[in-house]
């Protein structure tokens, strides 16, 4: 994928690695991108504004209070297809994470509606410090994209993590991003997300700890890549952002089952991410259940198996993805579920992994397709969503 015609902002902060900004700008210009450069005051101690303005063919801005940038920092944030901060120092990461708007770099970041990529550069101990790790996680939690540091010799003379990613790797990340933008054009993807609540009486229900974050991330990522998304969302205060997502709110497993079966025939792909209750109370008390005696016995009945029914109804050209949350024998249990329910791919995750599964902004998954198991590191759920969507077949045949 070429970067020709792409509008890219480069934010440069005060690191010895700032000299690589010249290589990044030159690479972007060579590929035909339009580039605007923002610098912090500290960055000008390491590389001159003249160098970057010459390479980018546009003036470089350092202060939001300058005459030329007072009104157009918002305009610039709306102009760009991507905002890349490279290098991003520990100080700049902290300011971005906390919204401390003392430079044009941060002002445009806060105004930007485009995807944000940040490539850190600092000494190893600074990179590994809990404060830096927390700022990185917060930025990723906002939906920004980390271009991870390289391992090698640092300016301090130490060897370890903290080197700015090489310019070519940064360009390759941007190429991959733009290549994904329309790779799901023409697809109609059914996604289930969130928990279900199975009522006991007017005030109580059986539920689980799902928040819907993973399914919402999948819906947002699929829509951003050109798909039309039908999101069936269980009870959660969260909602997806962006266009191209048709949301149907449901509460119970029976409601989710009904909506999923209704929409599946029109879908090219299905991703069943919801944590659907396996059982529901046989009867729902019309009034609040009062305490009587030392115990309470509830009779439960099985809910329909949405994944199995969609697997049975799957037509040629449709691709069905399921999720498995396992606490033991994960791969074995997930593979069994894949085969029994007629799935094409299953996503395995575990609540025993710190920072994964319910309630977190991150997840760690394994993708299982027959005998093939692909493992991924812990990462933001939006990036996990792209890893899953990358496994959809390239040219599905739309269902009748």
> Active-site residues: which are they?
208
Ligand-binding site membership of 102 (annotated)? no
d(CA 118, CA 330): 34
Rounded to whole angstroms, the Cα distance separating 322 from 334 reads 9
Find out whether 338 and 362 touch, Cβ atoms under 8 Å. Answer: no
Residue 372 known to bind ligand? no
Give first-to-last CA distance, the chain, whole Å. Answer: 32
* Residue 117 counted as an annotated binding residue: no
Cα 96 from Cα 84, distance rounded (Å)? 12
Order of strands, sheet of 116-120, starting from the edge strand that comes earlier in the sequence = 34-39, 7-12, 82-88, 116-120, 145-146
Per DSSP bridges, beta strands 145-146 and 150-153 are unpaired
Q: How far is CA 215 from the centre of its chain?
A: 10
- Distance CA(262)–CA(256), nearest Å, equals 10
Answer for the pair 214, 296: CB distance below 8 angstroms, yes or no.
no
- 20 a known binding residue? no
Element (H, E) at 3: none
Q: Give yes or no for a contact between 240 and 224, defined as CB atoms under 8 angstroms apart.
A: no
The residues facing 191 across adjacent strands are 231, 271
HSE toward the beta carbon, residue 45, CA cutoff 13 A: 7
- The CA-CA-CA angle for residues 177, 392, 369, to 5°, reads 125
User: 381: annotated binding-site residue?
Assistant: no
Residues annotated as binding site for CTP?
278, 288, 323, 337, 341
């Amino acid at each position: 994928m070429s970067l020709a015609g792409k509008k890219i902002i480069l934010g440069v902060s005060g690191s010895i690695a700032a000299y690589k900004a010249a290589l990044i700008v030159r690479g972007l210009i060579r590929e035909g991108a339009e580039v605007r450069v923002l610098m912090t005051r500290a960055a000008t101690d390491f590389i001159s504004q003249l160098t970057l303005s010459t390479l980018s063919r546009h003036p470089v801005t350092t202060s939001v209070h300058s005459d030329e940038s007072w009104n157009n920092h918002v305009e610039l944030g709306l102009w760009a297809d991507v905002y890349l901060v490279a290098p991003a120092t520990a100080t700049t990461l902290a300011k971005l994470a906390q919204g401390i708007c003392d430079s044009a770099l941060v002002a445009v970041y806060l105004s930007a509606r485009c995807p944000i990529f940040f490539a850190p550069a600092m000494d190893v101990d600074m990179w590994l410090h809990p404060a830096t790790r927390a700022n990185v996680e917060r930025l990723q939690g906002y939906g920004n994209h980390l271009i991870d540091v390289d391992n090698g010799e640092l300016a301090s003379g130490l060897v370890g993590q903290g080197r700015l990613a090489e310019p070519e790797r940064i360009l390759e990340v941007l190429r991959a991003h733009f290549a994904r933008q329309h790779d799901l054009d023409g697809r109609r993807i059914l996604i289930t997300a969130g928990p279900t609540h199975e009522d006991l009486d007017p005030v109580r229900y059986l539920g689980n700890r799902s928040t819907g974050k993973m399914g919402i991330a999948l819906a947002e990522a699929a829509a951003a890549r050109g798909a039309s998304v039908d999101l069936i969302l269980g009870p959660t205060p969260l909602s997806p952002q962006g266009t191209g997502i048709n949301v149907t709110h449901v509460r119970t497993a029976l409601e989710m089952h009904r909506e999923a079966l209704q929409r599946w025939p029109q879908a090219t792909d299905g991703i069943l991410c919801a944590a659907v209750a396996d059982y529901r109370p046989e009867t729902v008390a019309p009034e609040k259940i009062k305490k009587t005696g030392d115990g309470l016995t509830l009779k439960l009945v099985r809910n329909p198996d949405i994944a199995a029914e969609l697997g049975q109804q799957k037509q040629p050209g449709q691709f069905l993805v399921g999720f498995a949350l396992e606490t033991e024998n994960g791969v074995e249990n997930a593979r069994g579920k894949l085969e029994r329910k007629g799935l094409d791919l299953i996503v395995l995750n575990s609540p025993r992994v710190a920072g994964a599964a319910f309630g977190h902004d991150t997840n760690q998954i394994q993708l299982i397709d027959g005998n093939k198991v692909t493992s991924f590191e812990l990462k933001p759920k939006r990036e996990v969503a792209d890893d899953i969507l990358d496994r959809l077949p390239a040219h599905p045949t739309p269902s009748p």
